[in-house]
Structure 1
Amino acid sequence: MIVNEAKVEVMPIPKKKSQTWSRVWSFRHAYLFMLPAVIWYLVFSYYPMYGVLIAFKDFKYNLGIMGSPWEGLRYFKQFLNDSSFYSVLKNTLSISGLKLLFGFPAPLVLALMLNAVMRSKIKRIFQTISYLPHFVSWVVVVTLMQKILSPNVGLVNDIREKMGLDSIFFMGMPSLFYPLVITSDIWKGIGWGSIIYLAALTNIDPHLYEAAEMDGAGRWSKLFKITLPTLVPTIGILLIFSLSGILNAGFDQIWLMQTPATLSVSEILDTYVLKTGIQQGQFAYSTAIGLFKSAISLILIITVNKIAKKVSDVSLW
């Protein structure tokens, strides 16, 4: 018996490397579009990380970063044992916590109020007015606050004097520092922060509201049973970002509003780093404090993301 042996041609398996480069080449226009942003992050975000080594060295100008003697965790221990550590950390957490408590829900409330406005022209006017403060720098905002709240020529104190009351130095009172910080922060960011919520509200299917109305649901019932549950993923993501950045109390705002009279309640990590690093010349010590803050922020964002993922389906990764 004769068996015909058929020849089987084996196709060469393409190399994975060549496949990758062919895909990169096919999307070359997208990568070229991303190139400026990548270069910006490499130059201004990743390359400066080389300077983090200063936190572990006794930095000397004449020796440079690599030539300076190694000190290990000396400056981290020094900061933890510093008498200012607890007060600075307390002020940072207090300001950030109050901003999170009062400032986080403010854009959501504004977005819901704007969404309830039926006339589009009025809605656009209020949106524009609420967005404008975001584009005003903190220098201008704090200057306006100082002029309005000035004990000599301020509008508020002029009204108080006409009412027979004494003038108050608002910007120099520790008891009023936190209220001024929170209210000015909300005023400046509430409009810009509402954009994300307004965008999420436009994705809600209008048929859900129509079906709810047919079932006899009122305005509040639709809010709590349709609108807010739909916004939960957006709220969750923004909350994760806010909690992870709880050590960022707002350097620009605090630095400009800070006075010698309010130093006990206004000294935060960022201002403390600037004073120790630039004004006192303790570069290694201030770098260690900044690295400590960054490490805590990284731990927070990972922890909060894991908790959010277990509690709900909302997470960053």
Structure 2
Amino acid sequence: MLARMRPIARCLRLKYVCTRQASSKAPIEPPQALLQHQHVSRSGLVAYSNANAIQSAFQHDFLQWKDQTKHDASRSTVEPPRPKLISFECKPTFTIGRRQDASILEEQRTTLTQPLQIELPNRREPIQHTFTPKICKTQRGGLTTYHGPGQLVLWPVLDMHSPLYPKFTVKSYAGHLEATTQRVLHDLFGITTHIDGAEPGVWIAGSNGRQDRKIAALGVHQRRYITSLGLALNVDIAVTGETNVNPWKRFVPCGIEGKGVTSVAAAADDHHKPASWDLENLSKQWAQVFEKGLADPSLRTFTHGR
């Protein structure tokens, strides 16, 4: 009887050993996200030049990979860099396009760099400070625009022809930036927007004789299909008042006469407004929507209610 039980006991011991070994295995890692998102936050507000340095480093990595795979066939199987997204809230900065007339800028300089009072009370850490805005030249097209506290800047750095997702054209890439923003504004804040084929960006239609107002500005540059710059969404930035508090009154935004500027805080109804504005969390939500559109071209355009 005892002899007959030994094989059974041995099987039980083997079963225990196998179970213990299986349980000691490392858990399966979840799939790696396609988009790498970095929200830049040093004491809340970031110098435009610092964010641009991060963007330039990412661009360099993409261009270096392209050069290596172009001249070395053995490296063609190396996975390309994944797309990046830099988001930040900028210190007051007026940016100008690469083709903008320098003499016009000199005429504007005194007005643009006057002290600017910023008050953003509905924050976890309220902002109240007087700044002297900077002026920076950029690689984008277009004319003068503004970046500052209360605005979420979103700069994807990616290869429009990457094998990791369906290719973009310049037009479809710009459309994806706009569609992502439209979807976020609709789903989170109930804001209805539209795209103006003649003027890039995201717009809110005027009513009762009011002009159309831009809620998000678009400015993109690409080199060898590697993108830079992107989109700036006005969240709780000042869009009314005199020049001491309202930066938009110091110039004609993007050179577009007869149209205004608005913000999420100004356009959303009370039901959709949060108790306080959290731009870092909003950037994460925008990133999630943007990433989905990388893999699924059907999400690179937006239809309300979809």
For the criterion TM > 0.5, the same-fold answer is: no
Which structure has greater strand proportion?
A: 2
Give the structure-2-normalised TM-score. 0.23
Which structure has greater helix proportion?
A: 1
Higher relative contact order (CA 8 A, sep 6+): 1
Higher-Rg member (1/2): 1
